[in-house]
Homo-oligomer: A and B are copies of this chain.
Amino acid sequence: MNQDYILADPWSIIEEGFDKDRVKSSESLFSIGNGAMGQRANFEEHYSGPTFQGSYIAGVYYPDKTRVGWWKNGYPEYFAKVLNAPNWIGIDVFVDGNPLDLNHCTSVKNFRRELNMREGWYGRSFVAITEQGIELSVKVIRFLSLDLDELGAISYEITPVNQDVQIAFHPYLDSGITNEDSNWDDKFWNTTSVHQEETQAFIGAHTMKTNFATCTFMQARAESNGVSIAAKPGKKNETYVALEFDHKVPKGEKMVLTKFGGYTVSRNHEASQLMDAAKEVLQGASNLGFDALLAQQKEAWSKIWEMSDINIEGDVKAQQGIRFNIFQLNQTYLGKDSRLNIGPKGFTGEKYGGSTYWDTEAYCLPFYMATKNQEVAWSLLEYRYNHLDKAIENAQKLGFTNGAALYPMVTMNGEECHNEWEITFEEIHRNGAISFAIFNYHRYTGDYSYIPKMGLEVLIGVARFWHQRVNFSEDKQKYVMLGVTGPNEYENNVNNNWYTNYLAKWCIDYALDQIETVKTNFASDYARIVTKTKITPEELGDWAKVAGNMFFPFSEKHEVFLQQDGFLDKEMVKVQDLDRSQRPINQKWSWDRILRSPYIKQADVLQGFYFFEDHFDSDTLEKHFDFYEPFTVHESSLSPCVHSIQAAKLGRMEQAYTFYLRTSRLDLDDYNKEVEEGLHITSMAGTWMSIVEGFAGMRILEDKLNFSPQLPDQWDSYSFKINFRNQILTVTVTKTGAIFEITGESELEIVVDGSVLNLVPGKPNSL
Contacts and interface: CB of A to CB of B under 8 A. Distances in A.
Interface of A: 66-70, 72-74, 397-399, 419-421, 425-426, 471-476, 480, 482-483, 492-496, 565-566, 568-572, 586-593, 595-596
Given A398-B592, A399-B589, A495-B566, 7 more contacts: A69-B69, A69-B420, A73-B586, A73-B587, A74-B591, A471-B569, A565-B566
A23 to B, nearest CB: 26
B482 A596 contact: yes
A70 B399 contact: no
Contact of A592 (B70, B426, B566, B593): B426
A74 B483 contact: no
A493 B421 CA distance: 13
A533 to B, nearest CB: 24
A495 B587 CA distance: 24
Given A480-B569, A482-B566, A570-B482, A590 B473 contact: no
Given A419-B69, A420-B70, A493-B492, A474 B425 contact: no
A688 to B, nearest CB: 30
Contacts of A593: 398-399
Nearest to A425: B592
Contact of A590 (B399, B495, B568): B399
Contacts of A493: 492-494, 595
B74 A475 contact: no
B471 A73 contact: no
Given A482-B596, A492-B493, A493-B492, A73 B591 contact: yes
Contacts of A472: 571
A565 B567 CA distance: 12
B595 A483 contact: yes
Given A482-B566, A565-B566, A570-B482, A590 B70 contact: no
Contacts of A397: 590
Contacts of A586: 73
B73 A590 contact: yes
Nearest to A484: B592
Contact of A569 (B482, B589, B596): B482
Contact of A69 (B66, B492, B566): B66
B471 A590 contact: no
A417 B565 CA distance: 32
A589 B483 contact: no
Given A73-B589, A398-B590, A590-B398, A474 B568 contact: yes
A398 B594 CA distance: 10
B73 A495 contact: no
Nearest to A590: B74
11 contacts: A67-B69, A70-B420, A74-B590, A74-B591, A399-B590, A425-B590, A425-B591, A471-B571, A474-B572, A476-B569, A480-B569
A471 B568 CA distance: 11
Contacts of A480: 569
Q: Which of A68, A73, A472 has the most CB of B within 10 A?
A: A73
